[in-house]
Amino acid sequence: MNPVAKLLIIGGAVLIVIGLLWQVGGRFLPLGRLPGDIVVEKENVKFYFPVVTCIVISIVLSLGMYLFRLFK
User: Residue 72: what pLDDT?
Assistant: 76
Q: Which of these, 18, 28, 24, lies nearest to 57 by C-alpha position?
A: 18
Per-residue pLDDT tens over the stretch 15-53: 999 888 878 877 777 777 888 899 999 999 999 999 998
User: Residue 51: what pLDDT?
Assistant: 92
Q: What is the pTM assigned to this prediction?
A: 0.62
User: Residue 13: what pLDDT?
Assistant: 93
Distance CA(28)–CA(22), nearest Å, equals: 10
User: Residue 33: what pLDDT?
Assistant: 81
User: Residue 62: what pLDDT?
Assistant: 96
